[in-house]
Structure 1
Amino acid sequence: MIEPSAAARRSMAAENSDEVWIDLITMTHPELETPIRLTNDKTEFLSVEGDTPLYGTRSRGAGRVGPDAADPVHVFNYVPFAIAWPGYEEGAVPEIPLKIDMIDRAKILPLLRTRYEGRVKCLVESVLASAPDVVNFRFAGFYLVAAPWNDVSAELKLQLARYDLEPYPVGVLTPAIAPGLFP
C-alpha cells in the first residue's frame, strides 16, 4: 500500500486547496509494443501533430517492471476523462468506471476497436500536479472488461479479477494425492 505524501494529506484535509489532482492510467497487453498511457490533465505542452497541439503529463515510470525499468520518465497523453475510485461493497467485485470524452475520436476509437487476445491490464494512479513523480494512490490489478461507446463518450469498466468464480476445491486432498498431510 502506498502512503500518501504530506502534501496530498494536506490537500485532502483542506476545505479549499490549490493542489490539482491528476489521474494516470497505464494500459498494458502483450500485443501492445508500448503501454498506452493517459492522463486527465494538460500539465504541459508536448508537441504539435499536424494542426493539433498535444498535451500531457511527464511522470516517473508508473508501475515499471522488466525492460521498462530503465526508462526514467513516461509521458502520459492528455485525454479528457472522468474516473471514480473503486468502492468496497459487500459481495461486489471492485470496479473503476472510466468515462472518456470523444473529443479526439481519431485517438480513442482505434484503441476501443482493437481486439486483443486476452485482457488489457490497467494501472490507475493519482498524483499531484505539483509533484507528478510522487504516486499518492495506486490501484493495480484491474482489467478492462467493457468498453461501450457512442458519439459523446466511451464508458470503460475496469474490474479486478473475479476469484470468486474459481472452482474450489481444485482437487480432493486424499492420502494418495497428499501423503504429507496425513500422519
Structure 2
Amino acid sequence: MFDDETGEVVVLLLAFDHPDLDEPMLISSDNADLVDFEEQLRGTVSRGATYHFMPMEIALPEEGEDAQPTLRLTVYDVGQELEPLLQKSVTPATVTAEIVLASAPDDPEVQFADFELTQAAIEAGNAVLDLTVDTLASEPFPADTFTPGRFGGLWTTF
C-alpha cells in the first residue's frame, strides 16, 4: 500500500441492497475482465458474484471533530437499472463496500458494511452519491427532555 509503484490494481466493489430490488445491484471499479461476451460487459467476478463495471470516483470523508462520516461517490454513465432506485426510492438503500486486489478478487482486503445511501443527485447521466454510516454522533442528545408533561411519574411526590 505504501509502495511508490506496484503491479497490483486496487478494486472497489459496491453492493447496493434495497427492498425494491429483487437482488443486490453489484458494481465494480475495474474493467479488466470480460464477464459477458455477448453483451460485451466488463467487471469483476468475486466469490461467484458478478460486479459490473461502472466508471467511478471516490472521495473519502473529511477529517476533523465536526466532520460527518460521509463517503462521496461519483458514478459516471449511470445505467437505467440504477437510476430508478436513486430517484424514486423513499427509503435509503444499504451499501456494502469492499476493497479487493484484482489479482485476488475473492479475498477482501477491507470491508465496510452498513453504509446508507443518504443523498443521490443525478445530472447528465452521472450520479453523485453520499454514503453515510449510521452513527450515534448524528442522533440528537438528549433524545427526550424529562419534563412533568412527558415523564409525570418522575415528578410525583409521596
Query: TM-score, with normalisation over the residues of structure 2?
Result: 0.80
Q: Does the 8 Å CA contact 2:61/2:68 hold for their aligned counterparts?
A: no
Partner of 2:118: 145
2:2 and 2:80 map into 1 onto residues whose CA distance is 39
CA drift of 1:53 comes to 0.9
State how far apart, in whole Å, the 2-side matches of 1:36 and 1:165 are: 29
- For the 8 Å contact 2:11–2:28, the answer to whether it is kept is yes
1:105 Cα offset (Å):
4.1
- Note if contact 1:93-1:160 (Cα within 8 Å) is conserved in structure 2: no
1:17-166 residue pairs with structure 2 within 5 A?
A: 17-48=6-37, 52-60=39-47, 73-102=48-77, 105-113=79-87, 115-151=88-124, 153-163=126-136, 164-166=138-140
Q: CA RMSD in A?
A: 2.4
Find the aligned partners of 2:145 and 2:50 in 1 and give their Cα distance: 47
Residue 89 of structure 1: how far off its partner (Å): 2.5
C-alpha contact (below 8 Å) 1:93/1:162 kept by paired residues: no
Separation of aligned partners in 1, 2:144 and 2:125: 45
Task: List runs of 5+ in structure 2 lacking aligned partners.
Answer: none
Normalised by the length of structure 1, the TM-score is: 0.70
Partner residue of 2:142? 168
Amino acid in structure 2 at the alignment position of 1:109: E
Deviations 1:75-118 (A, max 9, x none): 1011111113334421222111111112x6444434433x2242
CA distance in 1, matches of 2:115, 2:64: 16
1:107-149: CA deviation from partner (whole Å, max 9, x where unpaired): 4434433x22421001111000010011111222211111112
CA contact (8 A) 1:24 1:124 kept: yes
What CA distance in whole angstroms lies between the structure 1 residues aligned with 2:131 and 2:56? Answer: 14
Q: Deviations over 1:141-174 (max 9, x none)?
A: 21111111222521111112253334535586x9
Q: Which runs of 4+ in 1 moved over 2 A?
A: 84-89, 104-113, 162-172
The CA deviation at 1:48 is 4.4
Q: Match for 2:128: what amino acid?
A: E
Query: For residues 100 and 169 of structure 1, what CA distance do their matches in structure 2 show?
Result: 36
Secondary structure of the equivalent of 1:13? Answer: coil
Between the aligned residues of both structures, percent identity stands at 28
